[in-house]
Amino acid sequence: MTLKDELNGENGSFLLDLRTKFIWNHKAFSNLLVNLFKECQRTKADAYLDREISSGIWYLSNVVKDWVENRDSPKNFSRAYHKRAYELLNDLIWAYFMVDSPYNSNFSLFEKEIQVLENLT
């Protein structure tokens, strides 16, 4: 699934499951993070960002945590998991808009962070 598919809430996307079923799908969330990381890398030298993708990424910065924390959705993962998930998501959103990533184009470092998250499941 592409980043645009994720951001548009297509079938099988993390956002669609979270919004309509109140299900946090770890695999879909990891896919979203990987696609977002790749988009950050792809666009870091660009002077202008795609408005459709940018608005979707900005949207993520607000709604994911709000949907989980402010709804009666089941919390199938620990508080530590969700805290780390929000941090990773916010790190990537920051990197997309500010071109400054804590992972510095280092996909293996980013993969380690995904593994830390996986270990919290």
**Number of structural domains the chain divides into:** 1
How far apart are the C-alpha atoms of 25 and 77, rounded to whole Å? Answer: 10
Predicted confidence (pLDDT) per residue in 10-55, tens digit: 999 999 998 888 888 999 999 999 999 999 888 888 888 999 999 9
Contact 109/103 with Cβ under 8 angstroms?
yes
- What domain range is 78 assigned to? 3-119
Sign of the Cα torsion 88, 93, 96, 97 reads negative
Contact 121/111 with Cβ under 8 angstroms?
no
Predicted confidence (pLDDT) per residue in 54-91, tens digit: 999 999 988 898 888 876 666 678 889 999 999 999 98
pTM of the full structure: 0.86
Q: What share of the chain is helix, strand, coil (3-state, %, to 5)?
A: 70, 0, 30
